[in-house]
Every structure is written in structure tokens, then in C-alpha cells.
Amino acid sequence: KCSSLGSAASSEDTDSPPSTADRSGVPEACEKQPSLKPAKEHVIPKDCDQVLENKVLEMLPGSQHVSTAVVKTISLKEKFPGENIVSQSFSSHSDLIPGVYEGGLKIWECTFDLMTYFTKAKVKFAGQKVLDLGCGSGLLGITASKGGAREVHFQDYNGLVIDEVTLPNVVANVPLQGDSNGINEPAGKRQRKSEVAQETCKCRLFSGEWAEFCKLVLSEKLFVKYDLILTSETIYNPDYYSTLHETLLRLLSRNGRVLLASKAHYFGVGGGVHLFQKFVEEKGVFETRTLEVC
Ligand code: SAM
């Protein structure tokens, strides 16, 4: 496995199987352009406890990362009667998602590589507005919020991934703005909560295809572009490169950076670091740099 991280500086303001043996989880259907699945925001419910119902959480091993809880199992029983509890490796259940499934139910290897890079390179998140693009589990955005990001947006193609995996992971890890202010709780606990409140990060979650996501957020009058876009294992399919490039271009702030982690080549689909880097260089808008090869 080889991962490369590209750093790109915008000059304008404005998945294939990893290997034949590891083909699981990235959809066969990604060989064709996904339809323009409309984007929508998934509002974080007021009662966050409800979000974690029927979820089994487990701490991520590895001391180099910020301690992070991840959804280990979800019950798809209610959504898909007849199915049993599904474990974190949802790969064989991609057929449970209607329409095109882009692989977000499983945590892909480069997510861990990028998190290791964050630690090693002491990537700064404090005060930044961050987008976890093609987030799946959302671990990159969660790490950013734990690192002091002022706002983190999560985007995944599939709404079910956002509802069943990203949202529970965010709720389990991030003290959210709008969490109960503990008005009915003992004073000591209230004070602890108000200390936490100072560290809250505004999180928003979105599903839908990239162009549609752009349209949705850019339609907001007061939309502020992202200082940092994090993205892992999203360049497997060359058919999506134009849309992805356009998305980065439209959403990244003038001095923003993209940290991208990907395998060198995705057999069967054809994308990978080298092809994407060439694509970006030919467009001539971003500057790219390989930060680490694993
Ligand atoms: N980043 C996660 C990880 O590393 O575990 C998930 C990687 S998964 C292989 C690829 C992700 O890219 C999907 O979750 C999907 O949301 C996103 N994606 C790929 N193509 C997309 C497209 N055309 N529009 C929107 N999202 C897309």
C-alpha cells in the first residue's frame, strides 16, 4: 500500500478496488459516474442520546491518535428487516444501500495514514474551518474538531452513511454546540459543561454528490470557504476528477490547503495518486506536493 498526501494552495478565491484482494466495500457501481444525487443537510438531532441507541462504540487503538470512539456495530434491522446486526466491516452489505454506494461504511486505510500524518507533522486545526470530503466514518473531521477547529463540515455521497456512521461518531466524540446546557443539572456539573462549551465546534453534515453539495453550500448567503479540506480514498475513479477538482476550487479559501490521502493506484477502476496529481497539474490552478509516501 502506498499513500501520498498532496498539499494544494488555491490561487482563486472563489473508490476501485484498492487491490483485487481488498476490493470489498468500494462499489462495483463506481465504475460509472454517480448520478447527480441531490445534496441535503442532515440536521443533528437535539436529543443526541437517541443517535447512539443500538450502536456499539469502541475506542480506536493506537496511542498516536487522539482517543476516538467509533461505531463498531449498527443495527440495520429496522431499516432492512431480516438482516442481522452488521459489524464495522460493512463491505458485504453494500447491496443494502439503494442506488450507488461509494464505500463510506468502512474505514479505509488512508484515513489512518492521514491521521498518523496529522500527528507526525503537527497539523494545526485550531480556529480553522474544515471540510471532511467523502467522510465515511468522519474520523478526519473529528480529529480536526478535537484539535480545535472552529467549524467542521462532513460530506458523504450516501445519506445512510451520514445517519448511521458519521453522525453517531460525531456525537460520540465532539462536544457539540447546542448540547443541553444542563439547566436542570447540579451546579458542579453545569460548570463543567460550560467549560466544555467553550471548546465546542460547530459541526454540520451533508450527503449528496459533490457538484450538488457545492451548489447547496454556496447558495448560503453567508457561506465562508474552507481553510482546510481533508479527504481520504476519494480519487479512485478518474470519471470524478473534474467534479472533484471543481469542488476543491469552489470551496477552498484563497490561502486554503487540501490534505489528500490515497493509494498509488486502484486496480480495476484506474485512479490513484499519480493520475490525480497529473490531472491537477494540467489544470494549473493548484500547487501540489507529495508530503509522505507510506
Ligand atoms: N474517506 C473515507 C475513508 O477513508 O474511510 C471514505 C472513503 S470511500 C472509499 C469514498 C468516499 O468518497 C465515499 O464515502 C463517498 O462519500 C465519497 N465520494 C466518492 N465519489 C463521490 C462523488 N462523486 N460525490 C460525492 N461523494 C463521493
pLDDT in tens, the chain (294 residues): 434 344 444 433 334 433 333 333 444 434 455 678 899 999 999 888 889 887 888 887 764 555 677 777 665 555 544 433 333 444 444 555 667 888 898 999 999 999 999 999 999 999 999 999 999 999 999 999 999 999 999 999 999 999 999 999 999 999 876 554 333 344 444 444 444 444 688 999 999 999 999 999 999 999 999 999 999 999 999 999 999 999 999 999 999 999 999 999 999 999 999 999 999 999 999 999 999 999
Instruction: Round to whole Å and give the CA distance between 34 and 32.
Output: 6
Nearest Cα residue to 127 out of 102, 91, 152, 160: 152
Please tell me what DSSP assigns to residue 14: -
Please indicate whether residue 111, judged by its CB atom, sits closer than 6 Å to ligand 1. Answer: yes
Q: What is the pTM of this model?
A: 0.82
Taking the centre of ligand 1 as the mean of its atom positions, its distance from the CA of residue 10, in whole angstroms, is: 22
Taking the centre of ligand 1 as the mean of its atom positions, its distance from the CA of residue 156, in whole angstroms, is: 6
Sign (positive or negative) of CA dihedral 260, 265, 271, 277: positive
Going by alpha carbons, the residue nearest to atom 25 of ligand 1 is 209
C-beta of residue 6 within 8 angstroms of C-beta of residue 277: yes
Distance of CA 212 to the CA centre of its chain: 16
Taking the centre of ligand 1 as the mean of its atom positions, its distance from the CA of residue 148, in whole angstroms, is: 24
Instruction: Round to whole Å and give the CA distance between 261 and 264.
Output: 10
Instruction: Round to whole Å and give the CA distance between 178 and 228.
Output: 24
Q: Is 63 exposed, middle or buried (0-12, 13-18, 19+ CB in 10 A)?
A: exposed
Please indicate whether residue 277, judged by its CB atom, sits closer than 6 Å to ligand 1. Answer: no
Give rounded-to-5 percent helix, strand, coil for the chain: 35, 25, 45
Please indicate whether residue 171, judged by its CB atom, sits closer than 6 Å to ligand 1. Answer: no
Please indicate whether residue 104, judged by its CB atom, sits closer than 6 Å to ligand 1. Answer: yes
Nearest Cα residue to 40 out of 216, 283, 246, 199: 216
Going by alpha carbons, the residue nearest to atom 22 of ligand 1 is 209
Taking the centre of ligand 1 as the mean of its atom positions, its distance from the CA of residue 159, in whole angstroms, is: 12
| CA 108 to ligand 1: nearest atom | 5
- Which residues neighbour 284 within 8 Å (Cβ) at sequence distance 6 or greater? none
| CA 208 to ligand 1: nearest atom | 25
Please indicate whether residue 108, judged by its CB atom, sits closer than 6 Å to ligand 1. Answer: yes
Please indicate whether residue 234, judged by its CB atom, sits closer than 6 Å to ligand 1. Answer: yes
